[in-house]
């Protein structure tokens, strides 16, 4: 039986959503400098990221610091992520994915 993308792609989307629901972000620290080389594009990107920077200011578990560099193209920084996952909680979604993607056709 050949692989059927019409079954695998939606099943993979459901698997990704189910896995993300079972992952808990305990802490995120992001400190980065970025620039696209074009000051207008850098400013536009910084404007799009501003809610992430300023909307997370009071949170202790989530610390985001972004610095736009308008003079040159650059991407540098440091990220620290602390997540919690219970591997046994991923068994159900994995089995469901296998059945949805490769099981009997309804």
The per-residue pLDDT string of the chain (106 residues; one tens digit each, 9 = 90 and over) reads 567 888 899 999 999 999 999 999 899 899 999 999 999 999 999 999 998 888 866 677 888 899 999 999 999 999 999 999 999 999 999 999 999 988 887 6
Nearest C-alpha neighbor of 66 from the set 77, 57, 56, 58? 77
Q: What is the DSSP string of 67-78?
A: EE--SSEEEEEE
How many CA atoms within 13 Å lie on the side-chain side of 85? 11
Longest CA–CA separation in the chain, Å: 58
Domain ranges of the chain: 5-102
pLDDT given at position 18: 95
Tokens of 6: 């019409």
pTM of whole model > 0.85? Answer: no
Q: What is the dihedral of CA 37, 40, 46, 48, to 10 degrees?
A: -130
d(CA 88, CA 90): 5
pLDDT given at position 57: 62
């Amino acid at each position: 039986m050949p692989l059927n993308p019409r079954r695998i792609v939606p099943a993979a989307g459901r698997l990704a959503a189910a896995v993300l629901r079972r992952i808990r972000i305990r802490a995120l620290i992001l400190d980065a400098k970025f620039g696209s080389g074009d000051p207008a594009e850098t400013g536009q990107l910084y404007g799009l990221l501003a809610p992430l920077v300023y909307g997370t200011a009071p949170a202790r578990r989530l610390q985001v610091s972004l610095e736009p560099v308008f003079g040159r193209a650059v991407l540098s920084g440091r990220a620290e992520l602390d997540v919690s996952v219970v591997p046994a909680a991923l068994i159900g979604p994995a089995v469901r994915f296998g059945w949805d993607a490769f099981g009997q056709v309804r």
